[in-house]
Chains A and B, each alone.
Chain A
Amino acid sequence: MFAYILKRLFMMIPVMVGITLISFIVINLAPGSPTDLQTELNPKMTPEIVEKLKKHYELDKPIHIRYLKWLKNIALLDFGRSFSPDGRKVIEKIGERIPITLTINLLSIILIIVISVPFGIFISVKKGSISEMLLSFISFIFYSIPSFWFALILITIFGVYLGILPISGLRSLNYSNLSLWGKFLDLIKHLTLPVIVASIGSVAGFSRYMASNFDDVLRQEYITLARIKGLPENLVLRRHALKNALLPVITILGLSIPGLIGGSVIVESIFSIPGMGELFYKSVMSRDYPVIMGMLVISSFLTLLGNLVADICYAIADPRIRLK
């Protein structure tokens, strides 16, 4: 097991270098110097920002030297300082927002599993029945729904007309006066709509994936054996099929992390939640380049880390992987 983890960690190094390289290319996208492009095309640029930009990128030096220097800074977690008036360190600004976004993502993943595992099994077992086709069609609608529009509908219904759920931020105004239990409930209420919006698009995909896994498992010989042995169908599905069909879901959940982090831009800006997505959106709107760059690198490292965790979980759950 230890050897497997070590091998996976080792394999991550070239990918991490690749991520920084592509991020660096994104900064240096345009011909000429990046500051020229930004100043000529962007009416929002002020002279101070141009100066800061030039200093930040050290444009007098050749490109490979700049890249190596930038890489060295990143290795020390130094992403520079934000261009916004507070001028704080980029790593601090991003760091304080990571837990919020990861919490929402984690809750979304739980919600996705809770809905799509039973639904996937339902699709697989009842394939072709009217109820399955109807539910599949409905799940297709949710798969196709634009998340921001869905969020606005939920806000109108639950926030404006029914007035039972808060529609922005993470805390009520009277948060500090609430009891511990009250604080918890308050947080849950604020997270309900964002988590639903963040997960809704993935449910259909996961259910179908789960269904096709379940189909595959049901064709295996040990399932036939269990049936021949005379086990009741219910027991065959629950005891023998479910566990094996759940395995590949771990990997898929790992792969869904970039989508969830990317989606946080929409969810967090609609519900004014101070997470990574909201910070990223603000930084793009105010052209806060150090924050944009830092966010691009950190979010893809998080994705890589998520994949690693998923792979390790898979290896723990399925010994065959470790031995390969």
Chain B
Amino acid sequence: MKRNSFLKDVFRRFFIKKVSLVSLIILVLLILASFLAPLIAPYEPDLINVDEILLPPSLKHPFGTDALGRDVFTRVLYGGRISLLVGFIAEGIAILIGIVIGSISGYFGGRIDNFLMRFVDIMLCFPVFFLILSIVAYVDPTIWNIMLILGLTGWMPVARLVRAEFLSLKEREFVLYEKVIGVDNLSIIFKHMLPNALNPVIVSAAFGIAGAILLETSLSFLGLGVQPPTPSWGNILTSGKDMLGVAWWVSFFPGIFILISVLCYNLVGEGLKDALNPKIYE
């Protein structure tokens, strides 16, 4: 029985590794394709052609055309720029804030820790999507604002992770020695402790980007994200939602691209979790 479950475990790990490797490759291709869109795309993203309205997918238009005769494939390629970039930067902001708050909280402990963690609890009480929409109601929906809003409302899980790591690192000898020989707090925190606390952060970053992409596309879908005519996956999808019976392709293809990129980020996260967490090898 023991041997059997060991073999299964090896098989499983190998499978996960392959899946996450393939996901990583797909992600890189997606990112390249959307940022090299001007070179790859067969048409201009805003080229309106009244003679080719709502054409189904064909060799000439692989994803068909929309209600203004624009090539959906081209628009999906360009749209990827917004969603992929927003997801990446928004999670970057969330991680920066999370690291600062989590490390201060875990390192200093006591009152500071108590105060900061209550703050995290309070932030987590808000339904995130409500909080995001409330802020969106007050500011212009530019790409930078949306990144900032998603970052400002998404840092709490990172802060908790970093804090937990710091709490256990704080007791380790190298930290005690550094304190004894008088290394200043900032160097201990950022130069010596942080690198040791990064593994779970890296894993959560992959899942976080996936979540941020879903949030950004949801905002665009509701018409509160980056505004048309700039294409984003969410707003292309919205433009087709009232024509599902006549032209399913306008909504279908951007949706598939969102799904694939979110899925790939999640699977990469899963692979990283396996690779970076030595505990499961015990």
Asked whether, in the complex, the Cβ of A258 is within 8 Å of the Cβ of B137, the reply is no
Does B122 contact A160, Cβ atoms closer than 8 Å? no
B125 touches A146 (CB 8 A): no
Q: How many residues of B contact A (CB 8 A)?
A: 50
* A contacts with B, residue count (CB < 8 A): 55
Taking a contact as CB atoms closer than 8 A, the residue among B128, B222, B224 that contacts A259 in the complex is: B128
B1-33 near A? 1/0 per residue, CB < 8 Å: 000010011011001000100000000000000
Residue of A nearest to B240 (CB): A152
Is residue B182 within 8 Å, beta carbon to beta carbon, of the partner chain?
no
**Residue in A37, A148, A155, A280 whose CB lies within 8 Å of B130:** A280
Min CB–CB distance A147 → chain B (angstroms): 8
Q: Which residue on chain A has the smallest CB distance to residue B8?
A: A128
Q: Which chain B positions have C-beta within 8 A of A137?
A: 19
Chain A 46-71 near chain B by CB (<8 Å), digits 1 or 0: 00000000000000000000000000
Question: Quick check: B248 and A37 within 8 Å, CB to CB?
Answer: no
Does residue B199 face the partner (Cβ distance < 8 Å to A)? no
Answer yes or no: B276 CB below 8 A from chain A CBs: no
A304 touches B125 (CB 8 A): yes
Cα(A46)–Cα(B105), bound, Å: 46
In the complex, A128 Cα to B10 Cα: how many Å? Answer: 9
- Which residues of B are found within 8 Å of A293, using beta-carbon distances? 134
B44 → chain A, closest Cβ, in Å?
Answer: 26
Q: Knowing A34-B138, A155-B244 are in contact, say whether A262-B130 is a contact too (CB < 8 A).
A: yes
Please determine whether A269 and B222 come into contact, CB atoms closer than 8 angstroms: yes
Please, which residue of chain B has its CB at the minimum distance from the CB of A26? B134
Which A residues are CB-close (under 8 A) to B47? none
B218 contacts A258, C-beta separation under 8 Å: no
Which secondary structure dominates where chain A touches chain B? helix
The stretch of A15-23, A84-92, A171-179, A235-243 that contacts the partner chain: A15-23
Contacts known (A140-B267, A146-B217, A265-B133); A127 close to B8, Cβ less than 8 A: yes
Question: Known: A34-B138, A144-B259, A149-B258. Is A19-B122 also a contact (CB below 8 A)?
Answer: yes
Chain B 59-93 against A: per-residue CB contact (8 Å), 1 yes, 0 no? 00000000000000000000000000000000000
Q: Which of A182-190, A245-253, A295-303, A314-322 contacts B (4 or more CB under 8 A)?
A: A295-303
| Contact residues in B for A149 (Cβ distance below 8 Å) | 237, 251, 255, 258-259
| Cβ-defined contact, B126 with A303, below 8 A | yes
The answer, among A41, A128, A281, A300, for a CB contact under 8 Å with B222, is: A281
Cα distance A192–B5 in the bound complex, in angstroms: 40
Q: Mark A131-152, 1 if CB is under 8 A from B, else 0.
A: 0010001001101111111001
Specify which of B8, B139, B221 is in contact with A148 (CB 8 Å cutoff).
Answer: B221
Taking the nearest CB of chain B, how far is it from the CB of A35, in angstroms? 11
A29 in contact (CB, < 8 A)? yes
Contact with A along B127-146 (1 / 0, CB 8 A): 11111011111111000000
Interface string of B240-277 (1 = CB under 8 A from A): 01001100100100010011001100110010000000
Q: Could you tell me if B133 and A15 are in contact, using CB atoms closer than 8 angstroms?
A: no
CA distance in complex: A141, B5 (Å)? 26
Known: A22-B123, A144-B259, A144-B263. A262 touches B11 (CB 8 A): no
Q: Check A299–B245 contact: CB distance below 8 A.
A: no
Contact pattern, A 273-305, Cβ under 8 Å of B = 1, otherwise 0? 000000011011101010011011001100110
Task: Please measure, in the bound complex, the distance between the C-alpha atom of A292 and the C-alpha atom of B131, giving whole angstroms.
Answer: 10
Name the contact of B8 in the complex, choosing from A34, A129, A292 (C-beta under 8 A). Answer: A129
Is B108's beta carbon under 8 Å from chain A? no
Asked whether, in the complex, the Cβ of A37 is within 8 Å of the Cβ of B127, the reply is no
B174 interface residue, CB < 8 Å from A?
no
A77 within 8 Å of B by Cβ?
Answer: no
Q: How far is the CA of A38 from the CA of B137 in the complex (A)?
A: 9
Determine whether the beta carbon of B266 is less than 8 Å from that of A261: no
A141 touches B138 (CB 8 A): no
- Asked whether any CB of chain B lies closer than 8 Å to the CB of A231, the reply is no
Task: Report B-chain residues with C-beta under 8 Å of the C-beta of A148.
Answer: 217-218, 221, 237
Complex CA gap A217/B148 in Å reads 42
Q: Are B251 and A152 closer than 8 Å at their CB atoms?
A: yes
A222 to chain B, nearest CB (A): 20
Given contacts A146-B217, A258-B127, A300-B127, 4 further A-B contacts (CB under 8 A): A127-B12, A148-B221, A262-B129, A296-B130
14 residue pairs A–B, Cβ–Cβ below 8 Å: A26-B131, A29-B138, A128-B11, A137-B19, A144-B210, A144-B259, A258-B125, A259-B127, A262-B130, A281-B133, A285-B223, A292-B134, A296-B134, A300-B125
Residue numbers of B with Cβ under 8 A of A are 5, 8-9, 11-12, 15, 19, 118-119, 121-131, 133-140, 210, 214, 217-218, 221-224, 237, 241, 244-245, 248, 251, 255, 258-259, 262-263, 266-267, 270
